[in-house]
A and B are shown apart, each in its own frame.
Chain A
Amino acid sequence: MSNNISDKIKNIHRIFHPQSIAVLGANKVKGTVPADILVNILKAEFKGVVYPVNPKENHISSIKTYKYVIDIEDPVDLAVIVYPSSVMHMALEQCGQKGIKGAIIISAGFKEVGGQGIEREEQIKEIAKKYGISFIGPNCLGVINTDPSVKLDASFARKMPEEGNIAFISQSGALCTAVLDYAQAKHIGFSKFVSIGNKADISEIDLLYYLKDDPKTKVILLYLEEISEGHGLMKAARTVIEQTGKPILAIKSGRTSAGASAAASHTGSLAGSDEICDAAFKQAGIIRCDDIEEMFNKAIAFTYQPLPKSNRIAIVTNAGGPGVLTTDAAIKYGLELPKFNPETTSILKKSLPKTANINNPVDVIGDARADRYSVAVSSILKDANVDGVFVILTPQSMTEIENIATEISHLASQFDKPIYTSFMGEADVAAGIDILQRNKIPHYILPESMPISFATTYKFKKMLEDIREPADTFDDVKKEAAHLILNNAINEGKKYLPEEEAAKVLEAYNFPMLKSGLAKSEKEAIELSELLGYSVVMKIMSDDIVHKFDVGGVILDIKSKDQAALSYKKIIENVNRHKPDANIKGVFVRRMIPPGEEVILGLKRDLTFGPIIMFGLGGIFVEIYKDVSFRIAPLDKKSVDNLITETKASAILSGVRGRIPRDINSIKECIMRLSQLAVDCPQIKELDINPLIVLEDGSGSFVADTKIML
């Protein structure tokens, strides 16, 4: 590992832009990795010098071959190492002696095989650290840089991809080759292509920082199997997005892994690793995709076309059915189909047949040739009400598929508004699709994919406009008091806090608690009631009485001083009559919980991402409705808003269908206090506030019950 991040970034630049490469362990056995790596470097027409290194060959592919890398007279920027893992330490040691700072370790046989492999990986990390070498791998496919001034294919992939603006970082080497094949068929080009393998040194986080300033990269794609530094990844992603506006799309495999089903709290049970990953990606602005097709559908929208100014789109189709399907999908994903300006409508009316639909979605009718598409698309693109166009084509006998594709490509280059296409079918439309793809017009097999991709780009654009402010922190909290309670409990070997102690922790963080007290006389009962504020409830406190209601030991809704005095007397009388032997500790006085909506706030500590905050619909059915959302603490204000708005509870709290609007600001304050508590008190493993009773707008909320696990 190199000493600091700037050295590492410099070394990564050397890996992508070497002037000379040594291939350590290259050989002549065609069809093997050590041979194909060298062949690929040569085939790609690398713009620098290549030095094969092999102890028993004089030359490989007619190139002079060196016994050891230290025998090479000239400086070497990049070492590509294909020696078996058993001698990797010797190879890397010599790279260090040679002064090489960047390496790609292709070979397998390290951490992924366990046992001795783990030791070998640690050994090469130590050597790299000693010499300030940064390396990709081990156990990887290699690295590709399509930049024409470099032309580096240091991989054993079958082919070099086309030049483009997409950087692809993958933890799976095999997936890389499949992606290259997929992309080649669709003329999708790449700027950088990296298989990170075991990411023993250079990780996706380092590469994100590097790609942030890479002028050739507009969009970054990630395929991750495991995330080792959650916070680091989130910070790097946010830095890239905020500083450059480059979108990051990611597939994180393992969606179906079992959550923490044996957890003791609702939060623990609901916050599985996938939900946490989802929340972290959202918070960082990473667009999570389920599969390769979805990822590239969205990536081409970002890389080929400008970001939309609004969500107002128009559809131009020569077939009614697909037009309706696309309209439905557009509405579903939050897009609008606006009315056209009168000028646009007038042009469409004059240019299209009477049977055509000149309103949005526009139907140019099945027999449309290129001229109808051209006039419809161009006039709509000029319309200020529209900020994007979806063009749908189905192949009829007279449809000029290639001409229409050419015309759309031409129009796309003239307007700063996104155009997406869907030429439906396969064989007949293939030549048209090829024209679109070569001209970098996003094309989708299914027309419904257009609104999905458009909505993603629009949402991303909106997110870029969001101002990220840190959530409020509160000076009125008593961190030391909370620590004292938590540490004492841990020292006593407790796994969870008793209810009254959990309440004290929340009190220390100034959560709105339902205040209460014990009155031992009528006078104290009156004073307490006055202090707490009416209405209050009074309950007998005695270890000898289990069913308080049965002995007349509970009086609800006490609304005045006189009622308080009377109620105290009545409870004592009732108990003395029904249970004369009971040892009475006093009368418990608590403010009545006013009616309100029940929500849940939760906290869970995750090994990868740290403290997770949960919000959702509360009560006893939390795990049945699962109407919850998650974010990672410390929160920013936007995340606090999103925590609430992402749930269905949000509509209920806002006062949907005549319900009373609730005090959402008081929930936000509780969430921010919880975020502060989560960061301040790592002793808390899990926490539920369930329910938090939310009163009507302006009246606050109250913690009704708390559970804290240590």
Chain B
Amino acid sequence: MDNNEVQQRVKKVIAKVLKTKEENISDSANFIFDLGADSLQSVELVAAFEEEFQIEMEEDKALEIQSVADAAKFISQYLK
């Protein structure tokens, strides 16, 4: 899976969890500051990423991720 595809699927997950449109989500968008995620939604996002990509992420580090680009990069490590 290339990075572009990971980013697209990350955006799809974010759009679903944060109830927003995919086209509103830029690569650099911050989940909290730009997309309005609260702390509960940040946890939901991590769970949704794990389900989407069938991976198990290190929770503390996963919760530090704040943007689409960072999320794609972090998830890609688990897909290698």
Within 78-100 of A, Cβ neighbours of B (below 8 Å) are at: 83-84, 86-87, 90-91
Interface pair A56/B18, CB less than 8 Å apart = yes
Contact yes or no, B36 A84, CB < 8 A: no
Whether B33 lies near A91 (C-beta < 8 A) is yes
Once bound together, how far apart are the Cα atoms of A56 and B30, in whole Å? 12
- Which of A57, A90, A91 has the most C-beta atoms of chain B within 10 angstroms of its own C-beta? A90
Taking a contact as CB atoms closer than 8 A, the residue among A54, A90, A91 that contacts B36 in the complex is: A54
Cβ < 8 Å to B, chain A residues 29-54: 29, 54
A117 to chain B, nearest CB (A): 13
> Are B18 and A90 in contact, with the CB atoms below 8 A?
no
Instruction: Say yes or no: B38 contacts A87, CB within 8 Å.
Output: no
Chain A CB within 8 A of B39 CB: yes
Q: Which A residues are in CB contact (< 8 Å) with B64?
A: 86
- On whether the beta carbons of B39 and A55 are closer than 8 Å, the reply is no
Contact assessment for A87 and B18 in the assembled complex, using a CB-CB cutoff below 8 Å: no
* A56-B35 contact in complex given A86-B66, A87-B66, C-beta closer than 8 Å: yes
Asked if residues A55 and B34 are in contact (CB atoms below 8 Å), the reply is: yes
Nearest B residue to A56 by beta-carbon distance?
A: B36
Min Cβ gap A454→B in Å is 52
Q: Is the CB of A27 within 8 A of B33?
A: no
Query: Complex formed: what's the CA distance from A636 to B5 in Å?
Result: 75
Closest partner residue, chain A, to B36 (CB atom): A56
Q: How far is the CA of A84 from the CA of B41 in the complex (A)?
A: 13
Give chain B residues whose Cβ lies under 8 Å from the Cβ of A29. Answer: 38
CA distance A97 to B34 in the complex (A): 16
A86 to B18, CA, bound (A): 18
Known: A56-B18, A56-B20, A87-B66. A27 touches B38 (CB 8 A): yes
Residue in B19, B32, B33, B34 with the greatest tally of chain A CB atoms within 10 Å? B33
Shortest Cβ distance from residue B37 to the other chain A in the assembled complex, whole angstroms: 8
A250 to B76, CA, bound (A): 56
Given contacts A86-B66, A87-B66, contact A55 B38 (CB under 8 A): no
**Contact-size category for B:** 10 to 19
Chain A residues with CB below 8 A from B34, complex form:
55
Which secondary structure dominates where chain A touches chain B? loop
Minimal beta-carbon separation of B60 from chain A (angstroms): 11
Among candidates B20, B35, B39, residue contacting A84 with C-beta atoms closer than 8 Å: B39
Q: Is the CB of B36 within 8 A of A87?
A: no
Q: Are B35 and A55 neighbours in the complex by a CB distance under 8 Å?
A: yes
Contact with B along A359-403 (1 / 0, CB 8 A): 000000000000000000000000000000000000000000000
Closest to B19 in A: A56
Q: Please, which residues of chain B bring their CB within 8 A of the CB of A55?
A: 33-36
Closest A residue by C-beta to B32: A87
Alpha-carbon distance between A55 and B24 when the two chains are bound, in angstroms = 11
Which residues of B have CB within 8 Å of A90?
A: 30, 33
Q: Which residues of A contact B36 (CB under 8 A)?
A: 27, 54-57
Kindly identify, within residues 20 to 44 of chain B, every residue whose CB is under 8 Å from any CB belonging to chain A. 20, 30, 32-36, 38-39
In angstroms, Cα B28 to Cα A40, docked, is 34
For chain A, residues 152 to 209, give those with C-beta under 8 angstroms from any C-beta of chain B. Answer: none
CB distance from A86 to the nearest CB of B (A): 6
Contact B32 A86 (CB under 8 A): yes
Report the separation of the CA atoms of residues A91 and B64 in the bound assembly, to the nearest whole angstrom.
Answer: 17
Specify the chain A residue showing the minimal Cβ separation from B66.
A86
- Name 25 interchain pairs, CB-CB below 8 A, sorted by A: A27-B36, A27-B38, A29-B38, A54-B36, A55-B33, A55-B34, A55-B35, A55-B36, A56-B18, A56-B19, A56-B20, A56-B35, A56-B36, A57-B36, A83-B32, A83-B33, A84-B32, A84-B39, A86-B32, A86-B66, A87-B30, A87-B32, A87-B66, A90-B30, A90-B33
Q: Using a CB–CB distance below 8 Å, which chain B residues touch chain A? A: 18-20, 30, 32-36, 38-39, 64, 66
Q: Which 8 A-B pairs have the closest CB atoms?
A: A56-B36, A55-B36, A87-B33, A90-B33, A87-B32, A55-B34, A54-B36, A55-B35
* A positions within 8 Å CB-CB of B: 27, 29, 54-57, 83-84, 86-87, 90-91
